[in-house]
Protein backbone atom coordinates (compact mmCIF):
# COMPACT_ATOMS: atom_id res chain seq x y z
CA UNK A 1 0.00 0.00 0.00
CA UNK A 2 2.90 2.34 0.73
CA UNK A 3 4.19 1.74 -2.81
CA UNK A 4 0.82 2.76 -4.27
CA UNK A 5 0.82 5.93 -2.21
CA UNK A 6 4.28 6.85 -3.50
CA UNK A 7 3.36 6.16 -7.10
CA UNK A 8 0.30 8.41 -6.78
CA UNK A 9 2.54 11.47 -6.49
CA UNK A 10 3.32 11.68 -2.75
CA UNK A 11 7.01 12.36 -2.31
CA UNK A 12 9.34 12.08 0.65
CA UNK A 13 9.44 9.66 3.54
CA UNK A 14 6.56 9.13 5.93
CA UNK A 15 6.91 9.91 9.66
CA UNK A 16 7.62 6.23 10.37
CA UNK A 17 10.28 6.15 7.66
CA UNK A 18 11.87 9.31 9.14
CA UNK A 19 12.02 7.56 12.54
CA UNK A 20 13.63 4.52 10.91
CA UNK A 21 16.18 6.79 9.20
CA UNK A 22 17.01 8.47 12.51
CA UNK A 23 17.50 5.12 14.28
CA UNK A 24 19.71 3.81 11.48
CA UNK A 25 21.74 7.03 11.60
CA UNK A 26 22.22 6.69 15.38
CA UNK A 27 23.24 3.05 15.26
CA UNK A 28 25.50 3.45 12.20
CA UNK A 29 27.06 6.95 12.46
CA UNK A 30 29.84 6.20 9.98
CA UNK A 31 27.20 5.95 7.22
CA UNK A 32 24.95 8.50 5.56
CA UNK A 33 21.52 6.90 5.49
CA UNK A 34 18.97 8.11 2.97
CA UNK A 35 15.49 7.42 1.68
CA UNK A 36 14.64 7.91 -1.98
CA UNK A 37 11.06 8.44 -3.07
CA UNK A 38 12.00 7.11 -6.49
CA UNK A 39 11.60 3.50 -7.51
CA UNK A 40 10.23 1.35 -4.65
CA UNK A 41 12.59 -1.63 -4.99
CA UNK A 42 15.65 0.15 -3.57
CA UNK A 43 14.39 3.19 -1.67
CA UNK A 44 16.66 2.71 1.35
CA UNK A 45 20.33 3.47 0.91
CA UNK A 46 23.52 4.14 2.82
CA UNK A 47 26.87 5.50 1.82
CA UNK A 48 29.99 5.23 3.94
CA UNK A 49 31.21 8.56 5.26
CA UNK A 50 34.76 9.40 4.32
CA UNK A 51 37.49 8.67 6.79
CA UNK A 52 41.19 8.03 6.44
CA UNK A 53 40.93 4.24 6.89
CA UNK A 54 38.53 3.76 4.00
CA UNK A 55 39.95 6.47 1.77
CA UNK A 56 43.40 4.86 1.90
CA UNK A 57 42.20 2.06 -0.40
CA UNK A 58 41.61 -0.29 2.52
CA UNK A 59 38.59 -1.62 0.62
CA UNK A 60 35.24 -2.52 2.04
CA UNK A 61 31.64 -1.83 1.23
CA UNK A 62 31.00 1.82 0.43
CA UNK A 63 27.37 1.94 -0.81
CA UNK A 64 24.34 -0.14 0.13
CA UNK A 65 20.79 -0.18 -1.26
CA UNK A 66 17.80 -2.09 0.11
CA UNK A 67 14.05 -2.37 -0.26
CA UNK A 68 13.26 -1.75 3.43
CA UNK A 69 14.72 -0.27 6.59
CA UNK A 70 14.99 -3.78 8.05
CA UNK A 71 16.98 -5.02 5.05
CA UNK A 72 19.26 -1.98 5.17
CA UNK A 73 19.87 -2.55 8.91
CA UNK A 74 20.79 -6.17 8.13
CA UNK A 75 23.23 -5.04 5.42
CA UNK A 76 24.80 -2.35 7.64
CA UNK A 77 25.25 -4.92 10.41
CA UNK A 78 26.95 -7.31 8.01
CA UNK A 79 29.25 -4.49 6.84
CA UNK A 80 30.10 -3.66 10.47
CA UNK A 81 30.90 -7.30 11.19
CA UNK A 82 33.09 -7.49 8.13
CA UNK A 83 34.82 -4.24 9.09
CA UNK A 84 35.54 -5.59 12.56
CA UNK A 85 36.88 -8.86 11.18
CA UNK A 86 39.14 -7.11 8.70
CA UNK A 87 40.39 -4.61 11.26
CA UNK A 88 40.59 -7.30 13.95
CA UNK A 89 38.84 -4.92 16.33
CA UNK A 90 38.26 -7.78 18.74
CA UNK A 91 41.91 -8.80 18.98
CA UNK A 92 43.03 -9.97 22.43
CA UNK A 93 43.80 -7.01 24.66
CA UNK A 94 41.91 -4.53 22.48
CA UNK A 95 39.24 -2.58 24.35
CA UNK A 96 37.30 0.61 23.72
CA UNK A 97 39.55 2.50 26.09
CA UNK A 98 37.77 2.17 29.44
CA UNK A 99 39.93 0.86 32.29
CA UNK A 100 39.11 -2.75 33.11
CA UNK A 101 36.71 -3.09 30.16
CA UNK A 102 36.42 -6.50 28.55
CA UNK A 103 36.82 -7.00 24.81
CA UNK A 104 33.90 -7.98 22.59
CA UNK A 105 35.43 -11.45 22.28
CA UNK A 106 35.62 -11.78 26.08
CA UNK A 107 31.98 -10.71 26.46
CA UNK A 108 30.92 -13.28 23.85
CA UNK A 109 32.90 -16.01 25.62
CA UNK A 110 31.30 -15.11 28.94
CA UNK A 111 27.83 -15.18 27.38
CA UNK A 112 28.54 -18.55 25.75
CA UNK A 113 29.73 -19.99 29.08
CA UNK A 114 26.60 -18.67 30.82
CA UNK A 115 24.35 -20.19 28.15
CA UNK A 116 26.17 -23.54 28.35
CA UNK A 117 25.67 -23.45 32.12
CA UNK A 118 21.94 -23.24 31.40
CA UNK A 119 22.26 -26.39 29.23
CA UNK A 120 21.64 -24.51 25.99
CA UNK A 121 23.17 -25.61 22.66
CA UNK A 122 25.91 -23.10 21.87
CA UNK A 123 28.46 -22.74 19.07
CA UNK A 124 31.06 -20.04 19.57
CA UNK A 125 33.72 -18.44 17.39
CA UNK A 126 35.74 -15.22 17.57
CA UNK A 127 32.97 -12.99 16.18
CA UNK A 128 29.65 -14.48 17.31
CA UNK A 129 27.75 -17.03 19.35
CA UNK A 130 25.06 -19.24 17.81
CA UNK A 131 22.41 -20.45 20.26
CA UNK A 132 20.07 -23.18 19.04
CA UNK A 133 16.90 -24.64 20.50
CA UNK A 134 17.77 -28.29 21.12
CA UNK A 135 14.08 -29.25 21.05
CA UNK A 136 13.04 -27.45 17.86
CA UNK A 137 15.15 -27.88 14.75
CA UNK A 138 15.93 -24.68 12.86
CA UNK A 139 15.27 -22.26 15.72
CA UNK A 140 18.42 -20.34 16.54
CA UNK A 141 19.72 -16.93 17.53
CA UNK A 142 23.10 -15.59 16.39
CA UNK A 143 24.58 -13.07 18.85
CA UNK A 144 27.28 -10.54 18.04
CA UNK A 145 29.04 -8.05 20.28
CA UNK A 146 29.92 -4.63 18.93
CA UNK A 147 29.77 -0.98 19.96
CA UNK A 148 26.46 0.87 19.97
CA UNK A 149 27.18 4.40 18.77
CA UNK A 150 23.98 5.82 20.30
CA UNK A 151 25.23 4.58 23.71
CA UNK A 152 28.68 6.20 23.67
CA UNK A 153 30.14 3.22 21.80
CA UNK A 154 29.63 0.89 24.75
CA UNK A 155 29.63 -2.76 23.75
CA UNK A 156 26.21 -4.36 23.25
CA UNK A 157 24.95 -7.76 22.23
CA UNK A 158 23.17 -7.65 18.84
CA UNK A 159 21.26 -10.24 16.85
CA UNK A 160 22.20 -11.11 13.28
CA UNK A 161 19.46 -8.80 11.97
CA UNK A 162 21.17 -5.82 13.60
CA UNK A 163 18.73 -5.36 16.48
CA UNK A 164 20.25 -4.65 19.90
CA UNK A 165 19.61 -7.32 22.55
CA UNK A 166 21.26 -5.97 25.71
CA UNK A 167 24.33 -4.16 27.00
CA UNK A 168 27.32 -6.49 27.03
CA UNK A 169 27.67 -5.90 30.77
CA UNK A 170 24.15 -7.32 31.28
CA UNK A 171 24.47 -10.88 30.00
CA UNK A 172 21.40 -11.94 32.01
CA UNK A 173 19.26 -9.52 29.96
CA UNK A 174 20.70 -10.98 26.75
CA UNK A 175 19.91 -14.51 27.99
CA UNK A 176 16.30 -13.48 28.69
CA UNK A 177 15.94 -12.04 25.19
CA UNK A 178 17.60 -15.09 23.60
CA UNK A 179 15.23 -17.43 25.45
CA UNK A 180 12.24 -15.33 24.35
CA UNK A 181 13.34 -15.54 20.73
CA UNK A 182 13.99 -19.28 20.92
CA UNK A 183 10.49 -19.78 22.35
CA UNK A 184 8.88 -18.09 19.34
CA UNK A 185 7.61 -20.47 16.67
CA UNK A 186 9.78 -20.52 13.54
CA UNK A 187 8.59 -18.21 10.77
CA UNK A 188 6.90 -19.96 7.87
CA UNK A 189 8.45 -19.42 4.48
CA UNK A 190 6.27 -17.33 2.18
CA UNK A 191 4.93 -19.15 -0.88
Q: What pLDDT is stored for residue 166 in this prediction?
A: 94
Alpha carbons 127 and 146: distance in angstroms, whole number: 9
Q: By percentage, how much of the chain surpasses pLDDT 70?
A: 69
Higher-confidence position of 169 and 80: 169
Q: What pLDDT is stored for residue 126 in this prediction?
A: 79
φ and ψ at residue 61, rounded to 5 degrees: -75, 130
- What pLDDT, in 10s, does the model give residues 137-179? 678 999 999 999 888 888 999 998 889 999 999 999 999 999 9
Question: What is the number of other CB atoms lying within 10 angstroms of the CB of residue 132?
Answer: 17
Higher-confidence position of 189 and 20: 20
> Which one, of 141, 140, 173, lies nearest residue 156 by Cα?
173
The DSSP result for 172-184, as a single string, is HHHHHHHHHHHHS
Alpha carbons 87 and 104: distance in angstroms, whole number: 13
- What pLDDT, in 10s, does the model give residues 32-56? 888 876 666 778 888 887 654 444 4
For all residues of the chain together, what is the average pLDDT?
Answer: 76
Q: What pLDDT is stored for residue 34 in this prediction?
A: 86
Alpha carbons 117 and 113: distance in angstroms, whole number: 6
Amino acid sequence: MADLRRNSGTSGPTDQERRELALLGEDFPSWWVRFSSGLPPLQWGAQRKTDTDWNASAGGVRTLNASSARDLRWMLTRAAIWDDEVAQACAPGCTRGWPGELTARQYLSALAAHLRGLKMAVQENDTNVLVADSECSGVEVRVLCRPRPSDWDRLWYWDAEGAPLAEAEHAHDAVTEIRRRLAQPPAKAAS
